């Protein structure tokens, strides 16, 4: 191999890395200063295929029947064993929801969440892979021993709805679907994540929720 050939290959490899970075940045930058769904706001509904399920298709984000590309049926009504439905999760429980990009470093937060599930049995944990593919996300779930549901958002429908600008983004939701506090926009220390979940539970109790009612 000549020096010129090696140089050309280095340039090509560098270009691919830059291109990948541009794609991820565009995926996670719907608007300047995006900080997730604001506290006190009803979380946008969605129904996503589970990564370990057999369903194919995009995330349903419809808010009413025949909602165009968002979906034919309202997202909250689309349920099943192979579907991650955010409305179903928050009906009776607080929810901790992580949005992440598979292939980056941010899926490490999923292991942090899994480690806390046994400490908070009355909280529903879930995650959605943005631009994820079933095979890769399935391998991620198995390698990290995740036992909470992980959905797929192949076309990035949740990016603008959830004002996703960083990876990961962790949202804390009251029973009933109202966002409890500002989203975490990076992987937090383990103690901070635990403290935020404890705050979510305390605030949910103050609103009349009783642990064990799920």
* DSSP-assigned letters across all residues of 137-179: HHHHHHHHT--S-EEEETT-THHHHTT--SSSEEEEE-TTSBB
What integer pLDDT is reported at residue 81 of this predicted model?
95
How far apart (Å, rounded) are the C-alpha atoms in residues 152 and 130? 7
Q: Name every residue whose Cβ is closer than 8 Å to that of residue 183 and which is 6 or more positions away in sequence.
A: 35, 36, 37, 169, 170, 171, 172
SS3 content of the chain, % helix, strand, coil (to 5): 35, 15, 45
User: What residues are paired with 65 via a beta bridge?
Assistant: none
What integer pLDDT is reported at residue 15 of this predicted model?
36
Dmax (CA) for the chain in angstroms is 72
Q: Specify the CATH superfamily of domain 33-206.
A: Glutaredoxin (3.40.30.10)
How far apart (Å, rounded) are the C-alpha atoms in residues 146 and 149? 8
What integer pLDDT is reported at residue 25 of this predicted model?
41
Neighbours of 96 (CB within 10 A): 26
In the chain, the N- to C-terminal Cα span, in Å, equals 65
Which has the closest alpha carbon to 152: 114, 89, 102?
A: 102
What integer pLDDT is reported at residue 3 of this predicted model?
45
How far apart (Å, rounded) are the C-alpha atoms in residues 71 and 75? 7
What integer pLDDT is reported at residue 9 of this predicted model?
47
Which has the closest alpha carbon to 177: 59, 26, 42?
A: 42
Q: Which residues of the chain have pLDDT under 50?
A: 1-32, 214
How far apart (Å, rounded) are the C-alpha atoms in residues 48 and 151? 5
What integer pLDDT is reported at residue 212 of this predicted model?
75
Beta-strand runs (E) in the chain: 47-49, 83-85, 95-101, 124-130, 150-153, 169-173
How far apart (Å, rounded) are the C-alpha atoms in residues 31 and 165? 8
What integer pLDDT is reported at residue 33 of this predicted model?
54
The DSSP bridge pattern shows strands 150-153 and 124-130 to be parallel
In contact, 200 and 94? CB cutoff 8 Å: yes
Which two tokens mark 130?
């943005």
């Amino acid at each position: 191999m000549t020096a010129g050939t090696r140089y050309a290959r280095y340039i090509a490899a560098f270009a691919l890395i830059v291109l990948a970075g541009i794609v991820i940045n565009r995926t996670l930058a719907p608007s300047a200063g995006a900080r997730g769904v604001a506290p006190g706001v009803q979380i946008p509904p969605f129904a996503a295929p589970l990564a370990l399920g057999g369903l194919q298709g995009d995330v349903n984000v419809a808010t009413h029947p025949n909602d165009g590309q968002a979906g034919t049926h309202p997202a909250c009504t689309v349920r099943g064993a192979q579907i991650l439905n955010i409305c179903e999760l928050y009906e009776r429980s607080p929810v901790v929801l992580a949005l992440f990009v598979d292939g980056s470093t941010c899926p490490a937060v999923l292991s942090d969440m899994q480690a806390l599930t046994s400490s908070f049995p009355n909280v529903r944990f879930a995650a959605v892979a943005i631009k994820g593919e079933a095979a890769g996300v399935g391998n991620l779930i198995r390698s990290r021993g995740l036992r909470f549901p992980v959905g797929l958002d192949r076309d990035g429908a949740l990016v603008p709805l959830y004002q996703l600008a960083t990876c990961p983004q962790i949202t804390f939701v009251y029973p009933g679907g109202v966002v409890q506090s500002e989203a975490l926009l990076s992987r937090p220390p383990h103690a901070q994540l635990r403290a935020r979940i404890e705050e979510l539970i305390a605030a949910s109790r103050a609103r009349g929720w009783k642990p064990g009612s799920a």
